[in-house]
Amino acid sequence: EPEVTQTPSHQVTQMGQEVILRCVPISNHLYFYWYRQILGQKVEFLVSFYNNEISEKSEIFDDQFSVERPDGSNFTLKIRSTKLEDSAMYFCASSPQRRTNYGYTFGSGTRLTVV
Amino acid sequence: GIQVEQSPPDLILQEGANSTLRCNFSDSVNNLQWFHQNPWGQLINLFYIPSGTKQNGRLSATTVATERYSLLYISSSQTTDSGVYFCAVSTSGSRLTFGEGTQLTVNP
């Protein structure tokens, strides 16, 4: 079964540093997403991406965050100048179409710890 | 935005028991998914079920879209079923909105 692959599985970074979280969506999927889950809380939407541009973003997704599909296979989330409160599990997801009949497929997540 | 409420928030079972988890949502949806978050934090997709009934082994789910709720049934529970179960919905193909989850603990 096709998978969404995320790397690294765990990243520790110092406050103020930039991090890039990487995702390889399922190859024939067209819509890509990032979600975040702070420890002990529910999963929250960050951003959706289609046709090489952001299609929707939440209030959480401020200027500190950016997304990119640099090479047609990878989908990245960049967090500039990380803060302690950015510590969370970050999930990438993809879907074949906006009105999907199959649901969204999630990756295994990257656990980001900011110290 | 759409509201998603899950109940109960916590559930403790003995191995072998059956359980029902509920998800209520506040608007019409075109996507509803149930996920299991395992102890390693991974989100495992259990069902895509915007309406109707589906079964997969000991798990089954029913969504009554007209009444805006979904149920997840776990039969003959095992310790490996422990974790958090999330319901997530979307309207018009937009972002998924997750509920707060049900923390399930199955004791041997």
pLDDT in tens, B57-93: 999 999 999 999 999 999 999 999 999 999 999 987 6
Please indicate whether residue B47 or residue B92 has the higher confidence score (pLDDT). B47
Residues of A in contact with B45 (CB under 8 A): 103-106
Q: Using the Cα atoms of residue A19, residue A24, residue A25 and residue A27 in order, give the sign of their dihedral.
A: positive
Nearest CA in chain B to A100: B93
Residue B6, pLDDT above cutoff 70: yes
Check B98 against A33: CB less than 8 A apart. Answer: no
Among A58, A69, A74, which Cα is nearest to A24's? A74
DSSP label of A84:
G
Check B95 against A103: CB less than 8 A apart. Answer: no
Please indicate whether residue A81 or residue B92 has the higher confidence score (pLDDT). A81
Nearest CA in chain A to B42: A108
> CA neighbours within 13 Å on the CB side: how many for A52?
3
Name the band, by pLDDT with cuts 50, 70 and 90, for residue A99.
low
Check A106 against B45: CB less than 8 A apart. Answer: yes
Residues of B in contact with A97 (CB under 8 A): 93
Residue B40, pLDDT above cutoff 90: no
Q: What's residue A73's pLDDT?
A: 87
